Amino acid sequence: MNPKLGCCYYPEHWPESQWQSDAQRMKDLGLTWVRLAEFAWSRLEPSPDNFEFDWLDRAIETLAEQGLKVVMCTPTATPPRWMLDKHPDMLAVDIEGRPRGFGSRRHYCFSHLAYRQEACRIAEIVADRYANHEAVQAWQLDNEYSCHDTARSYSEAARRGFRNWLSDKYESVGVLNEAWGNIFWSMEYDDFDQIDLPNLTVTEANPSHWLDFYRYSSDQVVAFNKAQADVLRKHTDAPLIHNYMGRIVDFDHYKVGADLDIASWDSYPLGFLVDRLGASEEWQRRFERQGDPDLQAFHHDLYRAVGRGRWWVMEQQPGPVNWAPNNPAPLPGMVRLWTFEAIAHEAEAVCYFRWRQAPFAQEQMHAGLLRPDSQPSAVFPEVEQTSKEIQVLGDVAPAKAEVALIFDYESCWAWETQPQGEAFDEFSLALDFYRALRGLGLTIDVVAPDHDLSQYKLVLIPGLFAWPDNLLQRIESHPGLVFLGPRSGSKTKNFQIPTGLAPSIPGLDVIIAYVESFKAGNERPLSNGGAIKHWCEAIETTEDVIETTVDGAPVLVRKNRLFYLGAWLDSAALGRVLKAACDELGITTTNMPEGIRQRTTASHRFVFNHNAHAHKFEGEELAPAQVKITALD
């Protein structure tokens, strides 16, 4: 598939006299896609049932005349002010019990069923008007579910919904009491209607209570999305897309993705470095203007899985953003690098956010491809160059990865519920595994736990909290090597310690007697080099011990093709043990220097220098932000 470029455009922000030249310039830049109207509800329906679509008709026409294709959006992330008069209780409520006010965006509660109907109503009206328009060739539903911490709401609607959800799940409150262990602290309930949301308890609420609330909240996002998707499908066969976020795991993206055709995500590498990743001071200084070298790639691979092979970058940072603690400009060359990196990971399209910087409101300090005065912004020539290069790149044929990394949303919620150590977090653990694999130059598939694993030589499961149906059988019959990370199988699905203790794998004589977490700076060295950080498990075993601490405590255990790692390893140790597994399997590895990354597809090899300095790699000097592309025969 030959990748395409696009941009996010807000005709409602600009005088109509500008639209024609905007469209012309987009075309001249070689853009294919223009995303429209995701925040335009107040202009489409200025008052209830009073519609004004003429302006959008004309905007689409103007774009269509230049041969541009439109991603039409449902505007449901920004319900207009009048909606609140209609549904005063539709606001999401924060964890402290405070309603989240009007005056920005995403102020709705996913559990509010009347708002869900309003969302379907406007989706139907927009679809009815534009589904048959030739230029409208894809649809985006809503905008960034969960952005600004909105997947979980502690509203009255959520409380009612949660009680019903629990009653459907457990059928009898006695079963729920048992599953949650409510005998502890006399928390037993007599009726589902007595159960509140887990916020505002005196001290921590029961982790099983939290985990079910997180599951419930995720299901509301899935249901909200599906309701809109069902409406759109009645009108169109064009692909349905949602734009997910970086590092946000509050709902099960695989489940939302199952109701859509393409996954997309919004990539802001510089903003994410601190705001999402909490990178160390040293890392921030080093990659301030390039972003973390593995974070974007991880999301590309994750969202390829969420989209079942089809994915886009819907919003690509083009310059300084406005929302991180500090907002540097990307190093010259980085916007081109990010674009090609997405393409290397098989993106079908990369759209820049946004066409022109807005001179008003919240994001007036956020760069676009044009400045507010319509002059090209600093990045414009770079995007022009990138666009020309993409036109001659040809099709990028999908890679066939030999390594799969399982990423599981429920495990993120489980460890959020009871981290047992300030640094323990599933996303970071998975990212550390991913980094170690990328440090070996590997092409990786990130997959859901129920994905078919048989095609992979090496399967990594960083910290799956409970064993889903079938997975253990599939692991047992897996022909390659399977590598389990710390805390795997350490809970039941109800969040209790399994009877036989972790990791609870029949036939594997490994028992975790207790676990320890500890502070950064107190790393525990391994006898073969590298060290344990954050998390360490006391392993009792009669199986083969592959790695130990310098004190002789078992760290990595093996039985046949299965490895159990009872610790969070630093990059040196993790890289070493994963390399040994690759060597055994005959998977070719390349030692990638820090900041140099590669991905090999069936048609191309892409090498990226994320460093701010030139770097020698394979006998060749790579300039800062350089992308080296080699077509393979």
Residues of this chain that bind ligand GAL (CB under 6 A): 143-144, 147, 266, 268, 315, 321, 353, 363, 366
Minimum distance from CB of 610 to ligand GAL (Å)? 21
Length of the chain: 633
Which amino acid would we find at residue 568? W
| CA distances (Å), origin 500, targets 491, 510, 543, 604 | 11, 10, 17, 48
**142 Rama sector, left if φ>0, alpha if ψ -120 to 50, beta otherwise:** left
354 and 7 Cβ atoms separated by less than 8 Å: yes
First and final C-alpha spacing in the chain: 17
Minimum distance from CB of 143 to ligand GAL (Å)? 5
> For the chain, how big is the Rg over CA atoms in Å?
25
Strands 481-484 and 510-517: unpaired
Backbone angles phi, psi at 226, to 5 degrees: -65, -40
Minimum distance from CB of 380 to ligand GAL (Å)? 18
Minimum distance from CB of 323 to ligand GAL (Å)? 6
319 and 281 Cβ atoms separated by less than 8 Å: no
Minimum distance from CB of 167 to ligand GAL (Å)? 36
**Of 45, 118, 315, 402, which one is the catalytic site residue?**
315
- What is the sign, positive or negative, of the torsion defined by CA atoms of 498, 503, 507, 511? negative
- With respect to ligand GAL, which residue has the nearer C-beta, 78 or 182? 78
Q: Specify the 3-state DSSP secondary structure of 140.
A: strand
What number of helices (H) and strands (E) belong to the chain? 18, 24
Identify the DSSP state of 4.
E
Catalytic annotation present for 52? no
- With respect to ligand GAL, which residue has the nearer C-beta, 264 or 488? 264
Closest CA to 263 of 234, 292, 239, 243: 243
- With respect to ligand GAL, which residue has the nearer C-beta, 35 or 487? 35
User: What are the DSSP E strand ranges found in 215-362?
Assistant: 240-244, 262-267, 311-316, 349-352
In whole angstroms, give the CA distance from residue 373 to residue 278: 35
Give the CA dihedral 378, 379, 380, 382, nearest 10 degrees. Answer: 130
Residue 414 CB partners (closer than 8 Å, separation 6+): 207, 211, 426, 465, 466, 491, 495
CB atoms within 10 A of CB 160: 13
- With respect to ligand GAL, which residue has the nearer C-beta, 118 or 315? 315
Minimum distance from CB of 497 to ligand GAL (Å)? 39
Q: What angle do CA 428, 541, 456 make, to 5 degrees?
A: 50
Minimum distance from CB of 370 to ligand GAL (Å)? 16
Catalytic annotation present for 282? no
**Of 118, 144, 348, 382, which one is the catalytic site residue?**
144
In whole angstroms, give the CA distance from residue 411 to residue 32: 38
The helix-helix angle for 426-439 and 409-417 (nearest 10°) equals 130
579 HSE (CA, 13 A, CB side): 16
- With respect to ligand GAL, which residue has the nearer C-beta, 144 or 250? 144
In whole angstroms, give the CA distance from residue 372 to residue 118: 34
- With respect to ligand GAL, which residue has the nearer C-beta, 321 or 482? 321
Minimum distance from CB of 250 to ligand GAL (Å)? 15
- With respect to ligand GAL, which residue has the nearer C-beta, 266 or 292? 266
- With respect to ligand GAL, which residue has the nearer C-beta, 143 or 411? 143
Minimum distance from CB of 366 to ligand GAL (Å)? 5
| CA distances (Å), origin 141, targets 152, 497, 601 | 19, 39, 30
- With respect to ligand GAL, which residue has the nearer C-beta, 71 or 321? 321
Residues marked as catalytic:
144, 315
